[in-house]
Amino acid sequence: MEIVINDTPEIASILASDIVEHALTAVEGLVLGLATGSTPLAMYRELIRRHVESGLSFITARAFLLDEYVGLPNDHPEAYRQFIAREFTDHIDLPTNGLRSPDGAADDLAAAAQDYEQAIADAGGVDVQILGIGSDGHIGFNEPSSSLGSRTRLKTLTNKTRIDNARFFEDDIGKVPRHCMTQGIATILEARHLVLLAFGEAKARPLALAVEGPITAMIPASALQLHPHVTVLVDDAAASELSNADYYRETFEHKPRWQTF
C-alpha cells in the first residue's frame, strides 16, 4: 500500500488525475470505477479540465459506479447516476452507453445486483477504482459488519451514513434513502488498482483504522490491506492520526523513478 500525504486536497487530486491519465494512455479500453460523494469532486474537475484544455480522451473507456441508492427514481438529482453525470461524465467524451451503475430502481433488485456483477466481469474487470471512505470506515456503501467476501447486493445504510449524506437532501435525514445497492468488498478488491482518497479531519480516524489497524469487517476499508496495488492519497488533516506518517512522507520523497504508480 502506498500512502501519499499531501499538503492539500487539490494536490492529492492532481496525483489521482495523473493516475487516471496514465491508465487511459496505457490501457486500451480502460475500465474506470467511479465513486460519488464530495471527496473525488476536485479530481473530476481536474480531469474535465484536462479533457477540455489538453484533449484527454475517454472515448474508448467505460465506467462503473460503486453504488446507488434504492428507493429514489432514476432521474432523482441525488441518484448517484445523476450525480456522476452532472459532476463528471457529462463533461467528458465518455460514450453515453459507457457508464453503468447499479439499478436501484429495478423491480427485481437481487437480479439487478447479479446483472451488475456480470456486466463488470464482461467488461474484463475494473482497471482503476476510485474510492472514498465513509466516516464509519465504509467503502462504496459497505457498512461496518459487511462481509469481506461480499458481492454486489442490497444493504441497509446506517443512521450515521444517512446523517452524513443528509447534506445532499436539504439536511433532512427523512429524505435520505435507507437502502442501497453497492458493489461488495470482494467485488471492489478485484479491481486491478485501488485509489483511495481521504480529505479533512473527519476522515483521520477511519483512515488510520483502515490502513494501520487490524483487518476487520467493522472497518470495511481495512480490507484494502489485502490488495496488492493500493494508492492512498490524503491531505495533512486526514493523515493526522497516522502513526507512521513520517515513514510515508519519507518514502514518497525518495520514491525512485522506476517505482511508478
- Which residue lies nearer to ligand GLP by CB, 6 or 36? 36
The whole-angstrom separation of Cα 77 and Cα 83 is 7
Q: Does 140 bind ligand GLP (CB under 6 A)?
A: yes
SS3 81: helix
Q: Which of 143, 164, 193, 235 is catalytic?
A: 143
- Which residue lies nearer to ligand GLP by CB, 51 or 138? 138
Phi, psi dihedrals of residue 17, rounded to the nearest 5°: -65, -35
| Angle CA 66–127–59, to nearest 5 | 90
Q: Does residue 76 carry a catalytic annotation? A: no
| Angle CA 30–116–44, to nearest 5 | 45
Buried/exposed code over 50-70 (b: 16+ C-beta within 10 A; e: otherwise):
bbeeeebebeebbbbbbbbbb
Sign for the CA dihedral angle at 241, 246, 251, 252 comes to positive
Give whole-number Cα distances, 245 to 41, 195, 211, 221, in Å.
25, 18, 11, 18
Q: Does residue 246 carry a catalytic annotation? A: no
Please identify, among the stretches 83-91, 132-140, 183-191, 238-246, the one whose residues bind ligand GLP according to the rule CB under 6 A: 132-140
Site string for ligand GLP, 51-90 (x = CB under 6 A): ---------------xx-----------------------
- Which residue lies nearer to ligand GLP by CB, 35 or 56? 35
The whole-angstrom separation of Cα 241 and Cα 254 is 22
Q: Does 35 bind ligand GLP (CB under 6 A)?
A: yes
Which residue in the set 13, 17, 39, 82 belongs to the binding site for ligand GLP (CB under 6 A)? 39
Residue written as cell 441508492?
69
- Which residue lies nearer to ligand GLP by CB, 51 or 155? 155
- Which residue lies nearer to ligand GLP by CB, 56 or 65? 65
Q: Which amino acid is residue 212, in one-letter code?
A: E
Nearest-approach distance from CB 37 to ligand GLP, in angstroms: 3
Q: Does residue 212 carry a catalytic annotation? A: no
Which residue in the set 128, 141, 183, 184 belongs to the binding site for ligand GLP (CB under 6 A)? 141
Q: Does residue 122 carry a catalytic annotation? A: no
Please identify, among the stretches 30-38, 108-116, 121-129, 223-231, the one whose residues bind ligand GLP according to the rule CB under 6 A: 30-38
Phi, psi dihedrals of residue 69, rounded to the nearest 5°: -70, 150
Q: Does 206 bind ligand GLP (CB under 6 A)?
A: no
State the residue number with the nearest CB to ligand GLP.
Answer: 132
Residues with active-site annotation: 67, 136, 138, 143
Using CB under 6 A as the criterion, which residues of the chain lie in contact with ligand GLP when the complex forms? Answer: 35-39, 66-67, 132-134, 140-141, 161, 165
